[in-house]
Structures are given as structure tokens and as C-alpha cells.
Amino acid sequence: MNLLERESGTNERIGGARGNRTLFLPDGNSRLVSSGEAFYIKTTRNQKITMMTRRHALKTAALAGAGLALLPKSLAQTSPDSAHLSKAELARRILDDKTLAQVHRMALELLGKSLNAGSGYPDVWIRDMNTFIEVALEVNPPQRFRRALLIFCKLQGDDGNIVDGYYESAESAKEGSDSSSVAGLNPYKNTVETDQESSLVQAVYKYITVTHDEAILNEPIGGVAVRERLARAMQFVLTERFDPEHGLVWGGSTIDWGDIEPGGPVGSWLNANTHRALSIYDNAMLVIALNDYLKLPGVSASESRHWKIVRDALKQNIRKYLWDAKNRKFIPHVYLNGSPFPKDFDENAIYYHGGTAVAIEAGLLSRREVLHALERMEEDVRLSGAPSIGLTVYPPYPKGYFQNPAVANPYTYQNAGDWCWFGGRMIQQLVAYGYVTEAYRDLQPMTDRVVRIGDFNEWWSRDNQPSGSGNFRGSAGVLGKAIEMLQAWARQRANLK
């Protein structure tokens, strides 16, 4: 199937040079007719025929009611109600929502048990911990996370790099054991990623924000204070993973925020065949880390000037090289040594949901652009048949473009699987940008399935079945925080007229 062809929820093929196709709209009085690249909205009485492009036709169809017909049931059932509520009414509905309350309780319960990523991952990952540390600190003693953060600093390489994670033996994991020792730890690093360093900086900032434990910044690890180690971590990215021509950081050619590149049965480590690429996720994560570092207590004036210059240049170059203004989206990859894909493959037809959500958190999009991003994500959900805006990318990469079996087929794992881990981050940003009605609506498919299954799963299939690791703490963390943000907004406005 051509990547520009998309399928509706009824499995009718729309668009492309396959002859005329008709999709009847729910109003019973009109139909959407495609002929090649053109679409027509045609009434049953043939009173008026309007010609439009593919995207305008799909938007018009959604406004006419086709969008609701193609939505997953959970979205279709919740979207009409809240759109017409006053702020006070919406606030009361959020506060009275038993599903939100239940999922939040489930998140706290799970996050109070361990720091590992999930039942399928016995390891402690910094990119995961960064996304659940805030909510987890509500049900854990601060020392538990302090120790883990110091372990990541202890495992820092001489060049400043930060490992992905570590596996800890039962003996070394005993509460209160010395974080200055690496005995019993088995660290590892997936080198196609460029987010480990940024994740540590963000996690330390969140830890201090919640606990007010500023002393951790001066904690010496191998004779070097944690504050300096955070600066070295960011400098590693700017030295070892920086492309001076574009002024951006690079990584392997992974799917959006993923950790698998096309070549090799695993694809998690850089090698001579790696196609180095610039992408939005890695660069947005660094912008967030720089923002967080600048907000740490005790940053000197000279440090502040230096890192602000670095951050501002990075933001400017992201918009210059990675933002596609015409299509109002981020370019999936800007390749530094050639693309790994066939020459006729239009990779820019793919929309990166997760990286876009992180870019919004980094402040890289305007409020209007945030709304358009949401509209695009919701359209992708309708067209793909995915359960929620946790959909990683759309359309997916074709079968066989990645050798690792986990992502070799469309709609599996990072290749257009549905991840609360990133969908929840988009919900958080919608609340932050004032799109609360939309946030509440689009959160419900995610919370509904958590309750239905009774677990936070790593990702979900296109037919909304749980996949990957159970007890996935990243999902619990981002959903828990999204719920807390909604409830905080609601408490502030419940008494407003």
C-alpha cells in the first residue's frame, strides 16, 4: 500500500489511483466519494457537489459525523459531552470521575513497589524513571530515588556519558546500601539513543522540585559534585553527538523516540553501518534538560549565560532544520550520511506523535501549533483505527524496513503501537496549554483500558489489547501526573460560575 493511502475504520480504502470509492456518512444523506487524489461530498439528491483535497475532505467528513463513526468507541462516547460544558461543569465532572480516581490509585500502588521499568524489565532505566519519579515520590521515601540518581552519576563515563540503566543484584539493592559502590551493578547503554543524559538532568530537577533536597547537587561522586556531573552529561551530548553544520544533536535512525535502528536483528548499538540522523525527540529532550538545569538552585551567572546561549541556538536550529512549516509537522529525520530506506520512500509522510509531544513540552510550538498537532494526532487515530493518541507514528514504516522483529511489522511496538507512556505526556501538555476539554476527552481511552485490564501495560495493539511488559511504570507515571494536573485544574475552577 502506498504510504499516502490511508484506511478508514471501516476498512474502506480512501484515496490513491484505485478508482472511485464511496463511504456513506452517518447522516444518511450524503456520501464521501474519492476519485484518485480528489474527493467529493455528494448529497443523495445531487443538489450540491463540493470538490476538495484529501485532508480537507477527511476534516469535512469528521465535522459531518464520519469522524465519530470512525473513532474508537471510547472516544466516540466521550467527545460530544464535555465539549459544551462550562469550565465549572467540566471541573465538577473531572473531580467526580471515578475512573480517573481509580487509575490514580492504581498508579500510586504500582509506583510504590519498585524502581524497575516493569514486570518484563528487571532493570532501572533512567529514561523511564524520569517519567515516573514525580508521582512515585508521593509513595516512596526520597532516599530511594536519591540513591538511584547517585548510582547513575557513579556510573557516568569519563567522557560524561550516562548509561541507559543498570540491573542490581538482590544484595546490593538492600535499602540504605552505599550508592558510591558499583559492586553488584550491571550497567548497559543502547547507543542509538541520545536521551540518557537529558533524562538524568530532568530527573534530578524533578527530584529536587518535589523533595527540596538541594544538597544532592553538592554530593561528591568520585570527587565530582552532582551539579558538575550534570553539566558534563550535557556537554557529552554537545561534544560527541553534535553536528556543527546544523547545530543539532544526532542519534541512530530510530522510529521517533525508539531505541531500534533499521539494520541488524537488534539495532540498539551504533556501528559502521549506522545512518546518523537528526530528529526532534533527542533535540527536544536536550532543550528540556537545559531549561531544567537553568532552574536548579545555585547556578552561577556565567553558567546561566553559557547554557542559555546553547539552548537558544538549539531551539532556533530545531525550527530551521527539523520543522516542516508547509505541512506543520516535524521532519522524521535529517540524515547526515544517507538514508537507510529506498529512494522512493517518502518518510516525511510519517507523523511522529511522541517526539511532537516532547517538543511541545520543550516550548518549541506555539499554542496554535499545539492545537493543530492535536488535530493531526486525532485524525491519525481515526484513520489508523488506533485506540488513542498514544499511537507512536502514522503511517507506520512498511513491513521489513526494520530488521528487528519487534518493529518489522506495522502497528507493532514502536512502529505505530499505542503507548500511554507518550500519549500521557501529550495529555499533560494539553492541560498546560489550556486545552483541558481536549485533554480530558483524549485521556479517557487510556484510563478506560487500564481499568478494563487492571494493569499499566507497555503498549497496546490496534485492537486495544495489552502488549509488552505489564506493570509498566512509565505509563503509570505519565497517566498519574496527567490525572493530577486535570484534578488540580478542576479544583481551582469547581466553584467558578
Which amino acid would we find at residue 388? S
163 contacts 187 by C-beta, under 8 angstroms = yes
pLDDT range class, residue 84, cuts 50, 70, 90:
confident
> Measured in whole angstroms, how far is the alpha carbon of residue 268 from the centre of its chain?
19
Cβ(147)–Cβ(220) below 8 Å: no
Predicted confidence (pLDDT) at residue 332 exceeds the cutoff of 70: yes
**321: pLDDT strictly greater than 50:** yes
Confidence of residue 173 (pLDDT cuts 50, 70, 90): low
pLDDT in tens, 200-253: 999 999 999 999 999 999 999 999 999 999 999 999 999 999 999 999 999 999
Cβ(491)–Cβ(480) below 8 Å: no
Contact yes or no for 92/490 (Cβ under 8 A): yes
pLDDT mean over 301-308: 98
End-to-end Cα distance, the chain: 52
Confidence bin at 168 (pLDDT 50/70/90): confident
Q: Residue 29 corresponds to which cell in the numbers above?
A: 444523506
Handedness of CA 250, 310, 162, 201 (dihedral sign): negative
pLDDT score at 83? 73
Give the tens place of pLDDT for each residue, 85-108.
999 999 999 999 999 999 999 999
Alpha helices in 47-163 (DSSP H): 54-64, 66-70, 73-82, 87-96, 98-111, 126-136, 142-154
The pTM (predicted TM-score) of the whole model is 0.84
Dump pLDDT digits (tens) for 432-479. Answer: 999 999 999 999 999 999 999 999 999 999 999 999 999 999 999 999
Residue with cell 552561577: 300
C-beta separation of 51 from 414 below 8 A: no
Question: How many alpha carbons fall within 13 Å on the CB side of residue 80?
Answer: 10
- The β-bridge relationship of strands 220-221 and 185-188 is unpaired
Q: Which residue, chain included where needed, has cell 552532582? A: 226
C-alpha separations of 36 from 172, 257, 295, 466 in Å: 64, 34, 53, 37
List alpha helices for 179-260, DSSP H: 196-211, 226-240
Q: Is 28 exposed, middle or buried (0-12, 13-18, 19+ CB in 10 A)?
A: exposed
pLDDT number for residue 65: 40
* Three-state secondary structure call for residue 396: coil
Reduced to 3 states (helix: H, G, I; strand: E, B; else coil), residue 278 is strand
Domains detected in the chain: 6-70 (no CATH), 74-493 (1.50.10.10)
Rounded Cα distance between 418 and 423, Å, is: 8
**How far, in Å, CA of 321 to CA of 324, rounded?**
8
**Secondary structure of residue 393 in the 3-state scheme:** strand
> What DSSP string describes 426-446?
HHHHHHHTT-HHHHHHHHHHH
Contact 271, 192 (CB under 8 A): no
The pLDDT value given to residue 175: 47
pLDDT tens, position by position, 4-17: 333 333 333 223 33
pLDDT at 186 over 80: yes
Spatial CA neighbour of 12 closest among 30, 29, 32, 28: 32
* Grid coordinates given for 77: 462516547
The bridge status of strand 38-43 relative to strand 30-35 is antiparallel
HSE-CB at 112 with a 13 A cutoff on CA atoms is: 9
Report d(CA 27, CA 221) in Å as an integer. Answer: 67
